[in-house]
Amino acid sequence: MDAAQQLQSLTWSDAAYLAPEWILIAFMIVLAVLDLFLPRRALTGWLTLAGLLTSLGFVIWRLTELAGATPQAGADGQAVSGVIRIMADSYRIDYFSSLLKIIFLVATALIVLMSLGTVRKADIPDRGEFYYLLLPAVCGAMIMASSGDMITLYIGLELLSITTYVLVGIRKHSVQSTEAAFKYVVTGGISSALILFGMSYLYGITGATNLGAIGEGLKAHAIDFPAILYVAFFFILAGLGIKIAAAPFHYWSTDVYQGAPTPVTAFLAVVSKGAAFAVIFRIVYNLAFYSSSPGKPVADDVFLVLLILAAAAMLVGSTMALRQYNVKRLFALSGVANAGYMLVPLGLSIKGMHASGVGEFIFYLAAYLLMTIGALTVYAVIAKSTSQEDVGGFAGLYYRAPWTAAAMIVFMLSLAGLPVTGGFFGKLFILLGTVQSKDYWIAAVMVVSSVISYYFYFGLIRQMFMRSTNEADVEVPATSGIVIWLCAAATVALGIVPGPALDWINSHFSLVNDLFISMG
C-alpha cells in the first residue's frame, strides 16, 4: 500500500486515536497567533504547559484502554492484543510507544516549568516562540515512537529536527548560540542523509517502506543481498548514532549543549535522545532479526556493532568528562556515556535467559529523565544567580541553599549509579541482563565507566561542601523548586521501590505485539 492509499484509509474514527498529537499541533497554532497579542510572554509558557498536560492525559487514557483491550481481528483502527494499528500499520499505538510518549510529554512539561522560573528576556528574547516551538518538537518525537513505516518515521524525525534547530539558535544575538545552531544543522543534515541512504537500500531490496513488509521481504531476499544489508544497517546506525550522541558520533554535542539555552539542552538530552532510541528499537527488532542467511550472520554482526558502540560511548564519554569544567559540556559528555548504557539492552537482543531489554531501557530512560532535568534545573538556578557556567558556580551551595544542594546530591548519586536512587537500579538491571546473556565484557565496561564517572560527579558534590564562598544566598524560583523536588522525590522513589515499576512494564509489554510488526 503506497502513501496515498494509506492516507485515504485514515477515517475520522482512526484520526481520533491521534488526539494527543492533534492537541499539540492545535495548541501550537493557537499560541503562535496569541503570541502576537499577549502582553506577557509567561502566559504563553503556562498555556504551553496546559497543552502538554492535556495531551498527556489523552495518552494515559489510551494506555488504560490498551490495558483492558481484548484480542480482536487485525484491522486498521482496531485493538489487536493491546495494539491499535492505523493506516496499514504505518502508525501504531501500543505499550512501547505510549510509555515513551508519557516520558516525552512529562520531560517537556518539566522543562517548560523549569524555564518559567529561570529564563529571562536577556537569555531568550522571543520567549513566546520558544514555548510554542516545543510543541511540534515533542509531537515529532511522539510520531517517531509510533511509526511503523519509514515514511512516517522520517516525517517525525524531520519535524523534531527542524524545530530543535530553531530552538538551539533562538538566542539570535548570542554568537555562541548561533555557532551551536550552525553545527547542529550541519550534523543533523548529515545524520538525516545517512539514515535516508540506508533506508533507500532497504527499499531497493524489498520494494516496501512499511517495517513489517520490509521484514517479510528480508526473509525471502536476505540471502541474495548480504553486502547491501550491511551497508543499509550500518548507515542507518551511523545516522541514528549522531542523533543519540553516541561515540564516535558525539563531537557536536558539547558545543551544541553549551550554546543552547539550558531548557533546550535538557530537551535535547532527554526527548531527542529518547525518540532516536525508539527508532533504533523499531528498526533493529523488525529488520535485523530477519537479515541473516547461511554463512552471512548479518543480525549477529548488527548486535555486536551495537554493543561496541555502547562500549565506546561509555568509555569515551566518561574519560572525556574528566577534564571538563563547563557544566553543560560536562552533561553533554555524561549524556554520551548514558547513551552507551541505554544501547546495552538493545545490543543484548534476546539471548539466553534475557528477554526484558525493552523494560530495562524504559526504566533507565525514565530515571535518566529525572536526574538530568533535575540537575540542569539546579544549574539553571545557579547560573541565573551567579552568572557562572562552570563547576565553580556550585561552590558553597550547601551553605547558600542547603535543600537545593541536597537535591543535587540525589541527582549526582543517581547519575553515578549509587544507591538508593533510580539510576542505581537502572544500571543494575542492565548489568544483570548482560550477565544473563553471558556478555561479560560489556558488563566490565559498564563497571569501569561507572567508576570513572565518580570522579567528576563527586567533583560537583565536593564543590558544594568543601569550598567556602561569600556569595549571597541562591534564590530558587517557585516553579524551578517544584521541578527540582519532583525530580528528586521520583528519583528516590525509583530507588526504593524499583521492582514494581519494572514488573509493571514487563507484565504489560509484549515483544511480539508491541515491537514486531506483522503483516498478517
**Mean pLDDT across 229-241:** 93
* Cβ(344)–Cβ(307) below 8 Å: yes
pLDDT band at 12 (very low <50, low <70, confident <90, very high): low
Q: Is pLDDT at 76 greater than 60 in this prediction? A: no
The three-class DSSP label of residue 326 is strand
In DSSP terms, 79 is beta-bridged to 84
Which pLDDT belongs to residue 236?
94
Distances 44 to 35, 56, 323, 336 between C-alpha atoms, Å? 7, 18, 40, 33
Percentage, residues of the chain above pLDDT 70: 89
Q: What is the pLDDT of residue 359?
A: 87
- For residue 69, is pLDDT > 60? no
d(CA 296, CA 194): 23
Task: Give whichever of 139-148, 169-178, 349-358 has the largest mean pLDDT.
Answer: 139-148
pLDDT tier at 519, thresholds 50, 70, 90: low
| 3-state secondary structure (DSSP) of residue 286 | helix
Work out the burial of residue 45: count CB atoms within 10 Å of its CB; fewer than 13 is exposed, 13-18 middle, 19 or more buried: buried
Indicate left, alpha or beta for 82 from its phi (over 0: left) and psi (-120 to 50: alpha). Answer: left
266-278: b or e for each residue (b if 16 or more CB lie within 10 Å)? bbbbbbbbbbbbb
Cell reading at 433: 541482563
pLDDT surpassing 50 at residue 78 = no
**How many whole angstroms separate alpha carbon 495 and alpha carbon 501?**
10
pLDDT in tens, 314-328: 999 999 999 888 999
Length of the chain: 520
Cα 132 to its chain centre, rounded Å, is 20
What pTM was estimated for this model as a whole? 0.92
Reply yes or no on whether the pLDDT at 407 is more than 80. yes
How large is the average pLDDT for residues 118-126? Answer: 74
Q: What angle, rounded to 10 degrees, do the helices at 211-221 and 273-287 form?
A: 40
Instruction: Provide the pLDDT for residue 266.
Output: 95
Is residue 71 very low, low, confident or very high in pLDDT (cuts 50, 70, 90)?
very low
Average pLDDT, the chain: 86
Q: What is the pLDDT of residue 234?
A: 92
Local structure of residue 69 (DSSP, 8 states): P
> Which among 457, 295, 474, 286 has a CA at the least distance from the CA of 375?
457
pLDDT above 80 (res 296)? no
| Cβ–Cβ < 8 Å for 156, 24 | no
List the grid coordinates of 169.
539558535
Tens-place pLDDT, residues 478-515: 999 999 999 999 999 999 988 888 888 887 777 777 77
Q: What is the pLDDT of residue 133?
A: 93
Identify the weakest region by mean pLDDT among 32-46, 131-145, 337-351, 464-478.
464-478
What is the SS3 assignment for 91? strand
Q: What is the pLDDT of residues 432-489, one digit of tens each?
A: 888 888 889 999 999 999 999 999 999 888 988 876 555 667 888 899 999 999 999 9
Q: What is the pLDDT of residue 516?
A: 73
pLDDT number for residue 472: 66
Query: Could you give the CA distance from residue 147 to residue 218 in angstroms, rounded to a whole number?
Result: 19
HEC profile for 109-173? HHHHHHHHHHCCCCCCCCHHHHHHHHHHHHHHHHHHHHECEHHHHHHHHHHHHHHHHHHHCCCCC
Percent of the chain with pLDDT over 90: 53
Q: What DSSP assignment string belongs to 37-55?
A: T-S-HHHHHHHHHHHHHHH
Dig out the grid coordinates for 387 from the structure: 552568572
Alpha-carbon gap, residue 405 to 257, rounded angstroms = 23
Arithmetic mean of pLDDT, 326-345: 94
- Residue 79's pLDDT is 41
For residue 93, report the phi and psi dihedrals to the nearest 5 degrees: -115, 105
- Report how far residue 448's alpha carbon sits from residue 451's, in angstroms, rounded to the nearest whole number: 5
Q: Please determine, for residue 127, whether its predicted confidence score (pLDDT) is greater than 90.
A: no
Residue 218's nearest CA partner among 299, 279, 143, 147 is 299
Residues 146, 229 contacting (CB under 8 angstroms): no
Q: What's the rounded mean pLDDT across residues 213-240?
A: 87
Least confident of 5-14, 82-91, 265-274: 5-14
Query: What are the backbone angles phi and psi of residue 294, rounded to the nearest 5°?
Result: -55, 120
Q: Where are the domains of the chain?
A: 15-515
pLDDT at 55 over 70: yes
